């Protein structure tokens, strides 16, 4: 026999145990009951009169169907693999056994994906995500690093088939960006990207240094859920300062000659949002207010998490990074929360973030301690 039967059986048993744990969380019978209830509601004509309530229930339905489908698909795959293994082992079919062994990593990935799906059951995890990127101190080098991060998240969204919309974009003085905000629309976009909240550190030989010296740069990534109108966020007009200015992006004569861009400052918290995506000042104002509501919501959630952890990190600098991207003298991306390290740096910067993100989500779910950056990283 080509494969180790005992190892195969043990790996299948582990998968079955994971499925059992998932079944306890999902409770398929209760989930199916809820889906049946939603179907009955949809058949009631009055249900569609309340559009806000209908939209909320449709959103719930989409998530439940996604979880249910993934659970059933994974369960069937594991059961089929074990049944086929028993047949192949009884017949001593070495070719079939090897094929089953080769498929095990795919099965394990299905289980991991199901577990991640179950972790994204928070109140706003299913929402779209607003991602803002701000360079730290360091001028052109940090601004260039911020633009690299922006591209990374846009590529991640593209890989997932998500729609990305640039809400605000300010070019750097020589290269990169001074500030950017994007809206990423897709199932569980916020649930995944909330793991990106924090300071990101880059170590490389700077292309802007004629002496080819190594530089360390920082950029802050802030992620907040796009908040629905039915979430009550109280904003007092007297706490706001609203400024208009000329858009700096592409758009022709109109953008350059009219003050269509909007900047809103929430004075009590210091939160600043801005939007210059549209030619209409009114539309930019509406988007900016939505961004503000989302950021204030995330700020409140962050305060609660900080109180629970007795720690809050706000500086964009040494020892505050959640993740380090080292391009020189070796190549490695290491996350300080999951403690995972990867050498496929170019792929990660091209949006291949799933393993990094999932590692962080699992670590946070397990309540594993998260320390500051080690001395060698700093």
Each residue of 121-178: pLDDT tens digit?
A: 788 898 999 999 999 988 899 999 999 999 999 999 999 999 999 999 999 989 999 9
User: Can you give the pLDDT at residue 314?
Assistant: 45
Q: Averaged over 256-265, what is the pLDDT?
A: 82
User: Can you give the pLDDT at residue 3?
Assistant: 54
Per the prediction, the chain carries an average pLDDT of: 86
Q: Quick one: 84 and 181 in the same domain? A: no
pLDDT greater than 70 at residue 327: yes
Q: Evaluate whether residue 296 is within a structural domain.
A: yes
Q: Quick one: 181 and 239 in the same domain? A: yes
Q: Quick one: 186 and 243 in the same domain? A: yes
Q: Quick one: 133 and 213 in the same domain? A: yes
How far is the C-alpha of 55 from the C-alpha of 173, rounded, in Å? 44
Q: Quick one: 133 and 76 in the same domain? A: no
Q: Quick one: 109 and 138 in the same domain? A: no
Q: Averaged over 352-363, what is the pLDDT?
A: 90
Q: Quick one: 268 and 189 in the same domain? A: yes
Range of the domain at 72: 5-119
pLDDT greater than 90 at residue 374: no
Counting the structural domains of the chain, the total is 2
The tens digit of pLDDT for each residue in 169-209 reads: 999 989 999 999 999 999 899 999 999 999 999 999 999 98
Q: Evaluate whether residue 292 is within a structural domain.
A: yes
Of 13-27, 233-247, 248-262, the one with minimum mean pLDDT is 248-262
Percent of the chain having pLDDT more than 70? 88
Q: Which among 124, 146, 151 has a CA at the least distance from the CA of 135?
A: 146
How far is the C-alpha of 139 from the C-alpha of 219, rounded, in Å? 11
Q: Evaluate whether residue 372 is within a structural domain.
A: no
- The band of 265, judged by pLDDT with boundaries at 50, 70 and 90, is very high
Q: What is the CATH number of the domain that holds 257?
A: 3.30.70.1660
Q: Which of 119, 152, 182 is the last residue of a domain?
A: 119
The tens digit of pLDDT for each residue in 80-131 reads: 998 998 898 888 888 888 888 888 889 888 888 888 888 887 888 989 999 9
Q: Evaluate whether residue 157 is within a structural domain.
A: yes
pLDDT greater than 60 at residue 291: yes
pLDDT greater than 70 at residue 280: yes
Q: Quick one: 150 and 78 in the same domain? A: no
pLDDT greater than 70 at residue 29: yes
Q: What pTM, to 2 d.p., does this model score?
A: 0.77
Q: What is the CATH number of the domain that holds 36?
A: 1.20.58.410
């Amino acid at each position: 026999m080509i494969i180790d039967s005992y190892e195969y059986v043990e790996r299948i048993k582990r998968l079955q145990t994971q499925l059992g744990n998932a079944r306890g969380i999902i409770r398929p019978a209760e989930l199916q009951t809820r889906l049946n209830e939603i179907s009955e509601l949809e058949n009631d004509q009055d249900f569609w009169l309340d559009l806000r309530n209908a939209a909320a229930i449709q959103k719930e339905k989409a998530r439940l169907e996604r979880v249910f489908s993934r659970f059933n698909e994974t369960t069937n795959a594991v059961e089929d693999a074990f049944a086929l293994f028993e047949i192949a082992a009884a017949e001593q079919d070495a070719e079939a056994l090897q094929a089953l062994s080769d498929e095990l990593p795919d099965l394990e990935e299905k289980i991991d994906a199901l577990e991640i799906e179950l972790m994204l059951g928070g109140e706003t995890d299913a929402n779209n995500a607003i991602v803002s990127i701000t360079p730290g101190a360091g001028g052109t080098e940090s601004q260039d690093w911020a633009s690299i991060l922006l591209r990374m998240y846009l590529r991640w969204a593209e890989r997932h088939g998500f729609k990305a919309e640039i809400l605000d974009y300010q070019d750097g003085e020589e290269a990169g960006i001074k500030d950017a905000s994007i809206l990423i629309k897709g199932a569980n976009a916020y649930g995944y990207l909330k793991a990106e909240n924090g300071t990101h550190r880059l170590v490389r030989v700077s292309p802007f240094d004629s002496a080819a010296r190594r530089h360390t740069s920082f950029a802050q990534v802030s992620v907040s859920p796009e908040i629905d109108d039915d979430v009550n966020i109280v904003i007092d007009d007297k706490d706001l300062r609203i400024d208009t200015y000329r858009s700096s992006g592409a758009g022709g004569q109109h953008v350059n000659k009219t003050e269509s861009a909007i900047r809103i400052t929430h004075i009590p918290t210091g939160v600043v949002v801005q939007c210059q995506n549209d030619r209409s000042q009114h539309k930019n104002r509406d988007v900016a207010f939505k961004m503000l509501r989302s950021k204030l919501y995330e700020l409140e959630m962050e305060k609660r998490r900080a109180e629970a952890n007795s720690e809050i990190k706000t500086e964009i600098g040494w020892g505050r990074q959640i993740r380090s991207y080292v391009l020189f003298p070796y190549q490695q991306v290491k996350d300080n929360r999951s403690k995972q390290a990867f050498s496929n740096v170019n792929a990660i910067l091209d949006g291949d973030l799933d393993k990094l993100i999932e590692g962080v989500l699992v670590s946070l779910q397990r309540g594993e301690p998260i320390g500051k950056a080690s001395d060698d990283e700093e």
